[in-house]
Structure 1
């Protein structure tokens, strides 16, 4: 099945995200930009949005960046904190401010407690880090996915294709080489990203059974990148992902292929 030729300008409908959902984002090559896109699309919706992380979170800059709620500032109690997001809009809820424009995220148990407390909005949760690399493999204990996750979104950067596999491009280089079959100094191709997306030692084995499984290939900014995404999707066996998506998170052009029609 081919990718739909006409792009969508909205990402949230392609992921079937609705109030009450917890969307967990992981991988490398555009997690923050993807999260910003989802937030922007939901700012005018009649439900609140919480952005948080079970690891560290870079500040979401920009004029339309949501306000930040710090647990360490006496806001740890859910009942008290709820007043800050009870209306429409979005808020970043984290533990504390860190150096270099970073925040420490919340414990998974705090995210779980909020999700089960009757919160009727959407939660967007970053669940691992990648040190700004384009692709990665999960480390021990990664990703930290809270119980109750409804969506697991794996991000991989198409911009890695055609570049040499080194530590400037790849996070956890040795593990990625082992999973993807990359030799030292080899140029990254579409088969390598496909293996990284579906290998049993990569992310797909760590998704909760109850969550929608979504692969998002970022940096789809040219016809060649769209062809690369199609090649990757065709190499992924049926049954691993529910949705196969690619797009340009900044420009707002998205393409989908339903993996399990």
Structure 2
């Protein structure tokens, strides 16, 4: 079985920023569990907003008002479960929390108390696709990997706000009209556009496209069609495309480097 770590080329520790839509949060906690089970210390957090985790997502969760507080709690983690989830504060009664400024991520990486910091770097309102706003994503300078997530469940669905977060921005990127089918070609436009999935991604980072929910009927074929479309594009930035199903026992089905 191919692990997420292998598929994402994660070696020697660092900051992983996760952007896009269609399973970012689930992916972050699944990857954190994989790394922690290997005995490697992990912080999961956000530079935007995120719901307070369930116990099965993160057994150790704190609100912290300083980098020093995070470091102190990290040093108290049990050796057999070195995963800490942290946010700055709760901002509504439904459990939504505010994350940390990206500078905190950079500072935390310098402390070496965590081998890995996994950061959800934008929001998607639980939709499978999105287009980033002007102020997104919020990526820390120390980021080594950017994982862009898309949900294959949106493919061939009629374009609209039911399937796409910030649909008006997505329309501006792709030229798709409301009600038209969301095709692999449309999705590729949203991936490679300079204001698309990897917007403001530092050139020094490794880019991974994670096409999620491949367990759904017809989704694997749609994922392969996206890869075929990407192969026709002159993309100056190397990208690894991973087709997977993060909620299933086997999270990675296949991958290719483009």
TM-score by length of 2: 0.90
Match in the other structure for 1:4: none
* Residue 247 in structure 1 maps to residue 229 in structure 2: no
Residues 61 and 89 of structure 1: CA distance in aligned 2, closer, same or farther (over 3 Å) = same
2:156 to 162, 185, 202: 162
| CA offset digits 1:137-179 (Å, max 9, x no partner) | 1101210000110100111111011212111211111110121
Aligned partner (choices 92, 99, 117) of residue 111 of structure 2 = 117
| Larger CA deviation: 100-109 vs 81-90 | 81-90
Partner of 2:86: 93
1:80 aligns with 2:78: no
Among candidates 230, 235, 260, match of residue 224 of structure 2: 230
State how far apart, in whole Å, the 1-side matches of 2:149 and 2:131 are.
11
Contact 2:67–2:107 (8 Å) recurs in 1: no
Counterpart position of 1:193: 187
Distance 1:124-1:211 versus aligned 2 partners, 3 A rule: same
Q: Distance in 1 between matches of 2:76 and 2:141?
A: 24
CA contact (8 A) 1:239 1:259 kept: no
Deviation by residue 1:225-247 (Cα, 9 ceiling, x = unmatched): 11111111121234434310111
Find runs of 4+ consecutive structure 1 residues off by over 6 angstroms. none
Q: 1:220: how far off?
A: 0.5
Partner of 1:108: 102
Distance of aligned partners of 1:230 and 1:85 in 2 relative to their CA distance in 1, 3 Å threshold: same
Aligned-partner Cα distance in 2 for 1:240–1:258: 14
Deviation of residue 9 (structure 1)? 4.7
SS of 1:41's partner is helix
User: How far, CA to CA, are the matches of 1:239 and 1:60 in structure 2?
Assistant: 37
Q: Distance in 2 between matches of 1:64 and 1:107?
A: 22
Distance 1:105 1:216 in 2: 23
Paired with 1:106 and 1:132, the residues of 2 have a C-alpha distance of 21
**What is the RMSD computed on CA atoms of the aligned residues?**
2.0
Task: Give ranges in structure 2 of 5+ residues lacking alignment.
Answer: none
| Number of the residue aligned with 2:203 | 209
Secondary structure of residue in 1 paired with 2:203: coil
**Is residue 60–residue 84 contact of structure 2 (8 Å, CA) maintained in 1?**
yes
Deviations 1:182-204 (A, max 9, x none): 11221211111111111122133
* Aligned mates of 2:74, 2:82 — CA distance in 1: 13
Corresponding position: 1:258 with 2:256:
yes
Q: 1:138 to 1:51 in 2, by over 3 A?
A: same
Please state if 1:37 is matched with 2:35: no
Structure 1 residues 162 and 62, CA gap change in structure 2 (3 angstroms): farther
- Aligned-residue offset at 1:36: 1.9
Q: Give ranges in structure 1 of 5+ residues lacking alignment.
A: 1-7
Give distance in 2, aligned partners of 1:246 and 1:92. Answer: 26
Aligned length: 252
Matched residue of 2:26: which SS?
A: helix
For 1:192 and 1:229, locate their aligned partners in 2 and report how far apart those are by CA, in whole Å.
Answer: 13
